[in-house]
Amino acid sequence: MKALLALEDGRLFEGISFGAPGECAGEVVFNTGMTGYQEVLTDPSYKGQIVTMTYPLIGNYGVNEADAESRGLWLEGFVVKELSEAPSNWRSEKDLDTYLRENGVVGIQGVDTRALTKHIREAGAMKSVISTTDLEPGSLIAKAQQSPGLSGRDLVQDVTCDQPFTFAAQGGPTVVVLDCGVKYSTLRQLRDEGCTVVVVPARTTIDEIRAYRPAGVLLSNGPGDPAAVTYAIDTVRAILQIGTVPLFGICLGQQILGLALGGTTFKMKFGHHGSNHPVKDLVTGRIDITVQNHGFCIDPDSLDTDTVEVTHINLNDRSLEGIRHRALPVFSAQFHPEAGPGPHDARHLFKQFVKIMNESSEDIA
């Protein structure tokens, strides 16, 4: 079945449908990972986006439930050069086409993903539509132009959990995870460090968090515009006012922390999406190859340098990748230290968080 990808600037890409038939709209971005397509599909941070994989052959090792990063698939659409129709891996439980079809995700293959990626790099990420039902170029371009995009949108409310739940009860320090779209790999890392992990909805108030008497709070990754998640920003401000609670932000969690500290965020030209981004720790000089998935970033010039220290930068574009408070036990990373999927270079940040919690003599109550 024929499918068409239309961008808001009028650029068109023809291909063949796979996954679910139908139509979807979202901001088209590219991911540079050579593997990990299932983790991409199940990462809640991709809500509102159509993801293009730059590696040309996708689906060759199938999918399985163990590699899922959340309870569902969140991206709006999926673009690949070539779909593997015969996956070969002992862990495979089904093929990618079936997986997308069962979860209602529209896919398009046969696209020149090199040309699409080059176009996004030059023109920036933009609104787009994939359709198998409307193949009239003018109509699809108009739909892309009229779609909402990401700026100003709170998509956290679409991906956060409905009710609090305990992911792990290891007997170690209790960590409350403010779920803005958390990945299972983050929860597993906390569990493996011996933490008792309690996951709460993004709208959880400071009083409700206090009731768990946590030793620390983790602000998770998530989708959309961080400035629109005002309720989480207010909660983080309240935690900061307490002044003694260890706080660790990841990706969107860093952006929310930065906003709570008085900074501002901006939308990047095409963002960072992949598992091969070099980041330098300005404190130690260490360089980690990291997993990234973000389209917004903290403006370093907006931060009060008397209060906040920039700790990490991206070596590709010098963008801000990490901050810490100069007086409080508070730090964050723009990249994904849980590495699901990707290199494990930055997983030491979870040990750092646990060390800070163990050294703290008070909990949030």
Q: Which residues are catalytic?
A: 251, 336, 338
d(CA 365, CA 360): 13
The 8-class DSSP code of residue 220 comes to P
Q: 355 vs 41, 182, 257, CA distance in Å?
A: 33, 22, 20
Cis before 341? omega within 30: yes
Q: Which residues contact 118 (CB under 8 A, 6 or more apart)?
A: none
d(CA 100, CA 113): 19
Beta strands in 34-186 (DSSP E): 49-53, 57-58, 77-79, 82-83, 106-109, 126-131, 165-168, 174-179
d(CA 276, CA 34): 9
User: ∠ CA(36), CA(38), CA(43), 5° rounding?
Assistant: 95
Task: Tell which residue, 262, 324, 317, has the closest CA to residue 294.
Answer: 317
3-class SS of residue 18: strand
Structure tokens at 321: 């990748």
Provide the 10 A C-beta neighbour count for residue 243.
Answer: 12
